[in-house]
Amino acid sequence: MVYGNNNIWYTTVENSGATLIDYPDNPVYTLDGVVKAESELTSDVDFLSAMNFINDIPNYNGPDLTMVNAVFSAGYNHGSPYS
């Protein structure tokens, strides 16, 4: 994923010949192997919990953790290649 087009990462990806697409206005997520729109997941407890975890990352005020350790600590390691 590339945010913006005025950075080295964008230039590297663009020069690689990869096809770049704009992030959709209505993002989709894969949950349990099924692609769904966010509007379809508004009552899914797992989705809401994961989104709360992601949204709370900037407010984290604990000991230093890698993202992998934070994910494990929060209990989101189901199906992880790291488990």
pLDDT score at 38: 86
pLDDT bin (cut points 50, 70, 90) of residue 43 is: very high
Least confident of 2-6, 13-17, 64-68: 2-6
What ranges in the chain are assigned the alpha helix state H? 8-15, 45-56, 67-74
pLDDT score at 77: 66
Residue closest to 61 by CA, chosen among 70, 51, 48, 52? 70
Whether 42 has a pLDDT exceeding 80, the answer reads yes
**What's the whole-number mean pLDDT along residues 62-66?**
86
**What's the whole-number mean pLDDT along residues 39-57?**
88
